[in-house]
Structure 1
Amino acid sequence: MSFELLGMIGGLALLDTLSPATLGVTVYLLISEKERVGSRLMIYLGTVAVFYFSVGVALMLGLDALLSAVSSIFQNRTVSWVTMIIGVGLFIASFYYPKNKKESDLPRPKSRTNTSMVAFGITTSLIEVGTAIPYFAAIGLMTTSNLAVYQWLPILAGYNFIMVLPPLILFVLHVLLGRLMQKPLERLRTKLAKNAGSAVSWIMCIVGLILVYNSVDNL
């Protein structure tokens, strides 16, 4: 396992921190909740992290079994060409993704019980997982690098921790600064709602470049 691979996966994890849904829910809870905000937020973020980690483990094991079953196919340049095509496709598509959308409502829980926060975490994860381009790219890189389980498992756990780190930082600042965080949080929520399309566009562009870079050497 090379430092270059770790660097690319770490970069993809940082891209995933731009998820407007997770940050949006966090900001909403910090602004609107007066009691037990910490426990509800931790339940929500824990649910999201466990969900993505479980999906990642399932994909890693499934892809690893698939590669083992058809290993002869992947001994040539097929995988590199497929990765290259996907990367170029994402890079081109990023320029056509609508960036200047009207302000849209970010997801917010309708109920505030602990059970509802778990359900809301699963629901938002199910909605977002289909567009988790950096996460799927990281899983693809780890799979094609033939990492052993003891290597990719902690990387996957670290990836998911990084993914929920910005909401945790916002919560710590909220606890430390109290009312001083109210206006910054409101401004952040407005920016997230207005610039969600732009964030997705940049994510597509950068992920595409990483995939192209990773595949060029094997062509």
Structure 2
Amino acid sequence: MTLTIVAGLLGLSLLDSTSFGTLLIPLWLLLTPGRVRVGNVARYLVTIGAFYFVAGVAIAAGATTALDTLQGTFDGLPEQPMRVAQLVIGLGVVALSYWLEARAKRTQGQPGRLAQWRDRAMTETGSGGGMTRLAVIAATLEVLTMLPYLVAIGILASADLGAPRFALGLAGYCVVMCLPAVALTILRVVGHERVEPTLRRISDFFARNSAKAVGWTVGAIGIGVTLNAIVNLVVLNS
């Protein structure tokens, strides 16, 4: 695994660490009135990390099988039409990012699913099984929308690392993805009520901007796909 791949995976994992399931719900758990239940927060993070690892292995296996099946079909097609199709897809993804951001702005500040999840997180802190269920449900709803995670799986799969090193790389990704929540948990335990206002400001910021961040991430991926198609078309036509 090259340094470039490691740096790319590190950046993607830190981006994923700010998602709804990996940061916002742990913040709500830390802001629950009373003594911080470190065991429940740890159980939640271990569950969500393990879920993402298993889901990543399954997604990679399915994607590899699908690509092997489609490879023979696309091998005989001219490259230029394929690059044009890639360009159209990239522009479509960029357009989708604008729609997602516009929808986030329309729903900003409205009660609904976010408030329901906050209530759920804050009422299940007394139950270890509740933390496990909360983590599994959150990860299930979120995993297919975490585009950086899907990109990271693609990077690891295309690097031809072999199964053991692929699993090790994916496990490291999942650990790094949970580290900011772990750091905030330690800060909350050590700082007690003194750090609560800071944690509340962080929670409010991510609650306001988590939906917009999806649009930004989708847009960045769309731009990358579009630019790659343009560069290859220029090379083909030169």
TM over 0.5, shorter chain: yes
Distance 1:34 1:213 in 2: 51
SS at match of 2:172: helix
After alignment, is 79-88 or 10-19 more displaced? 79-88
The superposition leaves residues 44-83 of structure 1 with CA deviations (integer Å, 9 ceiling, x where unpaired) of 0111111111010011122223333444345575987776
Per-residue Cα deviation, 1:93-116 (whole angstroms, up to 9, x for no partner): 222322423225352334231111
Distance in structure 2 (CA, Å) of the matches to 1:133 and 1:183: 31
**Separation in 1, partners of 2:152, 2:207:** 26
Q: 1:152 to 1:91 in 2, by over 3 A?
A: farther
Tell me how far 1:130 sits from its aligned partner.
2.7
Verify the 8 A CA contact 1:12 1:207 in the aligned structure 2: no
Partner of 1:94: 97
Note the residue ranges of structure 1 that are not aligned, 5 or more in a row.
none
Separation of aligned partners in 1, 2:47 and 2:178: 11
Percent of matched pairs sharing the same residue: 27
Count residues with an aligned counterpart.
Answer: 219
Q: Which of residues 200, 207, 212 is equivalent to 1:186?
A: 200
Local SS of the residue matching 2:31:
helix
Counterpart mapping for 1:157-168 below 5 A? 157-168=171-182
**1:154 matches 2:179:** no
Aligned counterparts of 1:218 and 1:145: Cα–Cα separation in 2: 21
**Structure 1 letter corresponding to 2:57:** V
Counterpart amino acid of 1:11? G
CA gap 1:170/1:215 in 2 versus in 1, 3 angstroms: farther
User: What does residue 148 of structure 2 align with?
Assistant: 134
> How big is the alpha-carbon RMSD for the aligned residues of Structure 1 and Structure 2?
2.8
Q: 1:136, 1:24 → 2: CA distance?
A: 20
- Compute the displacement of 1:119 (Å): 0.7
For the 8 Å contact 2:90–2:222, the answer to whether it is kept is: yes
- Offset of residue 9 of structure 1: 2.8
SS of the residue 1:45 aligns to: helix
Q: Does the aligned pair in 2 maintain the 1:9–1:138 contact within 8 Å?
A: yes
Alignment of 1:49-128 (within 5 A): 49-73=49-73, 75=75, 77=79, 85-97=88-100, 98=102, 99-100=104-105, 101-103=107-109, 104=111, 105-106=114-115, 107=117, 108-109=120-121, 110-111=123-124, 112-128=126-142
Q: Does 1:177 align with 2:191?
A: yes
For 1:205 and 1:198, how far apart are their aligned partners in 2? 11
More helix by share: 2
Partner letter of residue 147 of structure 2? I
Which runs of no fewer than 5 residues in structure 2 stay unpaired? Answer: 234-238
Normalising by structure 2, report the TM-score: 0.78
Matched, 1:11 2:11: yes
- Structure 1 or 2, whichever has the larger Rg, is 2
For 1:217 and 1:143, the matched residues in 2 are separated by 24
Structure-2 change in CA distance of 1:147 and 1:3 (3 Å): same
- Equivalent pair of 2:30/2:36 in contact (CA under 8 Å): no
